[in-house]
Amino acid sequence: MNNITNSDKIYFFTFSISYLECLALYSSVRHSVILVAESGEKVQVPASRLKAFIDSRGISGRFRLVITAQNKIKSFERLR
């Protein structure tokens, strides 16, 4: 995990998405998705960041996204 600084923005997400719903990430021409954080804020992230967490059940769990002051993704990880 990268060190989090005071200038970083931190977002939390909780997902429970079926495998069939996740298939849209592969069949879509979109390269990014818009996620709604637990705070209610909308955040656009590359679809590839979610694909890494898909398993035979889909995507589930709580995630943390850390973004730098320059709006670059520092880390995107599953917490549980």
Asked whether 33 and 47 are in contact (CB, 8 A), the reply is yes
Instruction: Give the start-to-end residue ranges of the domains of the chain.
Output: 9-78
Which CATH architecture group holds 9-78?
Beta Barrel (2.40)
Asked whether 13 and 65 are in contact (CB, 8 A), the reply is yes
pLDDT digit string, tens, across residues 6-58: 899 999 999 898 998 888 877 767 788 899 999 999 999 998 888 889 999 99
- Burial of residue 59 (number of CB atoms within 10 Å: 0-12, 13-18, 19+): buried
Q: Which pTM does this prediction carry? A: 0.84
State the residue for tokens 């996620």.
35
